[in-house]
Structure 1
């Protein structure tokens, strides 16, 4: 009887020990699974954060690109219309030493384009009380005469008159064989003073610059003719 009781007690102790081990093993497995789940969750959060960071980077790039493009485009637009903001020369400017915002060659190009082509037969620059410095350009196109006034500060066409008239005057060119600066330099060498205006056209078939000079010595203003072909200078009394 004593042996039977001890055997039964031993068996129960073994069974209880096995149950404890099994329960411990089960808890350990769940803990591992929970740990893995937590680790995976942390990994997912990191990925989401990285993805979010990528989106932020994209937004930054888009923002930078957009701002840069907009700024560049605005700058180009501003450069294209820069003449609108150009500073006008004062009425007493000396055209021999100061440059108009819209030079002669550019003004001629505007006139010819506005007229629809043709040949330039006269170019002049003078100061107007209402519009400041103004180019007056005559263009001949297929039996029509186009007279254009162009703002020498902005390049805007102020006036454009057309009439049927066959123009026989010679064609003039502000780039060859003599440019305006070259002609003005010759004129002031002949008679010192402020150049207040000039024109380029023909007289009896001879193409010449006629330069208006306000004498610095207080004498009467003079006109100086400069032949574009020979460079001959003559002062008109």
Structure 2
């Protein structure tokens, strides 16, 4: 005769047996999902760049925001026009970073706008120009170092930087937006020293 205790014991044993396949399905693969194509992929949290006080809808230029290096943009421009650099600017245009490269040769100034994400030429034009100050790029620091020095003087959001010749000296001018004002900070392109703050 089967007692009530025997029925309870049998029920517990049945539950334990049913739980074993479920336990085998869980475990180390809890963070893995299957894509619609049938391939499994581990879920990894996305990593963002924290810009601190300078954070906004238009972040300061960094490697994540600007994958195309300025020297690559310059090479693209010189492929279009064989000239010497007059200025190299990185500017945020309506939420996207663009390079504006100005070159000069044989009485002609050439300007190319280059997408800082894809490296593609957006537009180009040329004008007659009698003379331009050529910028010396030998031994200059990276603009990111000039941006850091400028933000050390004036916290805010960088809207552009520009490498240019300022009376024979190569500088990197950083434009910073802060509390509705625009401040220009001139940084020596060789030493990284802040030369002037124009508020």
TM-score (ref. length: structure 1):
0.54
Q: In the comparison of the two structures, how many residue pairs are matched?
A: 143
For structure 2, the 5+ residue unaligned runs are 1-55
Q: Which residue of 1 aligns with 2:91?
A: 126
**Higher mean Cα deviation, 159-168 or 181-190?**
159-168
Q: State yes or no: 1:223 paired with 2:193.
A: no
Secondary structure at the aligned position of 2:61 is classed as coil
Greater fraction strand: 2
Q: Distance in 2 between matches of 1:97 and 1:151?
A: 14
1:150 and 2:114 aligned = yes
What do the CA deviations read for 1:201-233 (whole angstroms, capped 9, x no partner)?
A: 122333211101123xx3633111102244331
Match of 2:153 in 1: 190
Which ranges of structure 1 fall in alignment gaps of 5 or more residues?
Answer: 1-89
Alignment of 1:39-188 (within 5 A): 92-95=58-61, 98-115=64-81, 117-129=82-94, 132-173=96-137, 176-188=139-151
Could you say which structure has the higher helix fraction? 1
C-alpha distance in 1 between matches for 2:191 and 2:67: 29
Q: Distance in 2 between matches of 1:186 and 1:98?
A: 19
Change (3 A) 1:128 1:138: same
Deviation for aligned residue 1:142: 2.6
Q: Structure 1 residue 189: deviation in Å?
A: 1.6
Q: Does 1:235 align with 2:197?
A: yes
SS in 2 for 1:221: strand
SS in 2 for 1:192: coil
Q: Distance in 1 between matches of 2:57 and 2:98?
A: 11
- How high is the TM-score relative to the length of structure 2? 0.63
Q: Is the 8 A contact 1:146 1:160 kept in 2?
A: yes
- Cα distance change on mapping 1:101 and 1:165 into 2, 3 Å: same
Q: CA deviation at 1:96?
A: 5.1
| 8 Å contact from structure 1 (residues 148, 157) kept in 2 | yes
1:150 positional shift: 0.9
